[in-house]
Structure 1
Amino acid sequence: MQITVDAWDPSFADNAESPSRSDSATVNAEVEMPVKGWMPVDAPSSGPRRLLVVDGVRRVDARVELSDETGRWPGVCVSWAAGAVVCDLDGGASAVIESSVERGLFAPLDPGTDFGQYPYRKTDAADSAELIAASQVAMAALEAKVAAAVAADAELSVLDGTLRGRTRLPNAVGYIKSHHRSYLQGPLNGVVERLRPGQRTPVFYLMTTWPRYSWYLRLPGAGSRGWAGVARIEAADALSEEAAIALADATAAALPPLGSAAHKDARAPQNLTPIAGLERRLKRRLGDARLLLRSVRASSAARLSDAPL
């Protein structure tokens, strides 16, 4: 087998909730109030004081091509990390309490050689986009593992990104910073646009490729019109409607003070301050991409030198 290695553009990403992966959505907007009565909901006067924020980062370090007399197969060498920050809102302090790093070679065919820090992970996929999507699933699994290790004492656990595959964690919500598609229609979208900082929409039930509760929340620092500063939040569909509404109230009370500032973060205010700090730390833990790429090339070269003439 011949193995070739190239550097990969680390900005390449695939969103698991993009329209290409979820062509239709069913919404029940009457979980909390009738559609005709939909209006912005104010945050309660008090909420959780001890939060857990969980996030992950991922980097594609190299593209690998495997080929022999029968065909060619793509592969990607990926590094990913996940960590957790505990936030004490009363004390105004936060600290990273858990972090972990993993790597893998995602490919449909075992290269039959040691790729050092990238153990082989079989993935039934024919193109690089699907391989990278598989690495996203692996990162989500690591985030869930990290969260499960430390989530017991948190009043609210905020997991950056969709909650899919992580719905069994207690008091957990998924936190989505950007909007690749609109789930609400007509006047209901107008309620999102009218939200003031700290207000949320009523809870609705959302079914795409998987079911969950959801709502929108506007953070301070980006005005009060349009979709600027709006995050979408998810909760597990196994919850009762009352429990989902209680989680929505908890996020409206606890998350707005954690919004980032525009002069410090281009993704402000949705990129919560603990998330931004955790991302920086996790990226450092991924290691030097140039050295890792060199190790992959060395593994490939060793395979060629060992091949029979």
Structure 2
Amino acid sequence: MQIRLDPWPVDTLDGQLTLKPFAGLVYDAETPRWAAVAQKPVPESLKRVLTIDGKPRMEARLLVDDDGKLSVAGFGAYVVGAVDLCPHGTRQAELLNVEAKRILAYSDEAEGRMPISRFSPRNPHTGALEYQPHSFAGSQLEGPKSAVQRLMLAGEQTLAAQLASALPLDETDVNALADTLVLQDGPVRIGTAGSAVVGCVKTLHTDYLGADRIGLLSELKPGERTPILRFAVGDNGLTQAQHREQRFTWYVRLSEAPFYQHPLAGVMRLEMHAPEDTDFVPRAVQDIANLSGSLLCRLASQPHKDARAPQNLIPTAALEQAMGRAMGSLDLVTRRIRSHLVRELGVVA
């Protein structure tokens, strides 16, 4: 028996590795030969890489009393932004669209629509807070939090679709590689099909490989990848005609795993949307998979800089910090909320 360390800190939501078996079917898309694929250089034709991420936050839970009818609500905020960088290092990286949006999430069972809530500060340098009303279905306690999360995910999808190049689905076009590639933190979102968007899944919670293939992940060298596979989102063994959405996926090693960590430490799973045709991998997807090892090894973080290294990429960590600054101090925001409610209720503080 050997005990190995999961490298992710215990205060994160989940560990980096859990590996619950995938319930559906996974198909060989690139080749039936299950072996490491060597990394290839990032081509000069790729001019722009953007990392996209979002950050949600609940700022206060509310109870709405409308003439004796009670319902739950909440003040929340989210930020969706991007880091724009050159994959060849010829220009400085730039933050894009890092701006907080604040939401008053309320149950659709409440009577009438909630008004916009504007909190004017006593100190003019701290800025006004404006919460836009947004209803959610039902009256569950976690409804406001889920509403903010859904708005953030929709914002990520919209931004990714706006920034990424269109993705040709031709099998042989040698010029198919897009000039702008988007790295989406987490799985790709529904609605970004046909764009050069790659989902970067940091946590290995689902085993798409099975016991006979997963051993290859521990053998990969930094920059190497697995062959490309195909699976269906929500697949539970139904026929392919019944699947809701197809995706390509492959694994890349970003760094060697220290001997005291589990052997899959340093491995990231990538995914892209797949067309319904299962006979080939589009040349553009294969080109992106080929360059992914070289690109991600450049962007991988180090343990002394980030506890979620190497999967939490350097630009993603910088974006997380910028998004936190955009939302402001939670303590100060909740203090503003309390002061606002005191004034609204006509009570002298």
TM-score range, shorter chain: 0.7 to 0.9
Contact 2:161 2:192 in 1 (8 A): no
Give the CA deviation at 1:172.
Answer: 1.0
Indicate whether 1:213 and 2:256 are aligned. Answer: no
Contact 1:221 1:269 in 2 (8 A): no
What amino acid maps onto 2:74 in structure 1? V
Give the CA deviation at 1:254.
Answer: 1.3
**1:97-138, Cα deviation, whole Å (9 max, x unpaired):** 433321112221457454332222111144344542332221
What amino acid maps onto 1:84 in structure 2? A
**1:193-242, Cα deviation, whole Å (9 max, x unpaired):** 32221111211112233432111111025349622011111101238622
Identity within the alignment, %: 29
In structure 1, runs of 5+ residues without a counterpart are 1-10
Counterpart residue number, 2:98:
99
How far apart are the structure 1 equivalents of 2:115 and 2:66? 14
How far apart are the structure 2 equivalents of 1:50 and 1:104? 32
1:113-262 matches, within 5 Å, as 113-116=115-118, 117-152=130-165, 154-168=179-193, 170-209=195-234, 210-220=245-255, 222-223=257-258, 226-238=263-275, 241-242=281-282, 243-262=284-303
Distance 1:104 1:157, change over 3 A: same
Contact 1:27 1:184 in 2 (8 A): no
How far apart are the structure 1 equivalents of 2:221 and 2:334? 47
**1:241-277, Cα deviation, whole Å (9 max, x unpaired):** 2243332223223111110011111010001111111
What amino acid maps onto 1:229 in structure 2? G
Equivalent pairs, count: 289
Moved more, 217-226 or 256-265: 217-226
**TM-score normalized by the length of structure 2:** 0.72
Counterpart residue number, 1:84:
82
Contact 2:98 2:326 in 1 (8 A): no
How far apart are the structure 1 equivalents of 2:40 and 2:336? 53
Counterpart residue number, 1:4:
none
Distance 1:126 1:190, change over 3 A: farther
How far apart are the structure 2 equivalents of 1:108 and 1:65? 10
Give the CA deviation at 1:49.
Answer: 5.2
Give the CA deviation at 1:72.
Answer: 4.1
**1:52-105, Cα deviation, whole Å (9 max, x unpaired):** 111122221111223467664332322111211122232364222433321112
Counterpart residue number, 2:40:
44
Aligned-CA RMSD value: 3.2
Contact 1:24 1:208 in 2 (8 A): no
Moved more, 288-297 or 77-86: 288-297
In structure 2, runs of 5+ residues without a counterpart are 1-10, 119-129, 166-177, 235-244
Counterpart residue number, 2:58:
60
**1:145-202, Cα deviation, whole Å (9 max, x unpaired):** 3334443485321111121234246211111111233232111222223222111121
Give the CA deviation at 1:44.
Answer: 1.7
Counterpart residue number, 2:327:
286
Contact 1:13 1:132 in 2 (8 A): no
Please identify the structure whose Cα radius of gyration is greater. Answer: 2
How far apart are the structure 2 equivalents of 1:227 and 1:71? 53
Give the CA deviation at 1:283.
Answer: 0.9
Contact 2:42 2:294 in 1 (8 A): yes
**TM-score normalized by the length of structure 1:** 0.80
Structure number with the higher helix fraction is: 1
Q: Please, which of 260, 267, 270 is the counterpart of residue 308 of structure 2?
A: 267
Contact 1:63 1:76 in 2 (8 A): yes
What amino acid maps onto 1:115 in structure 2? S
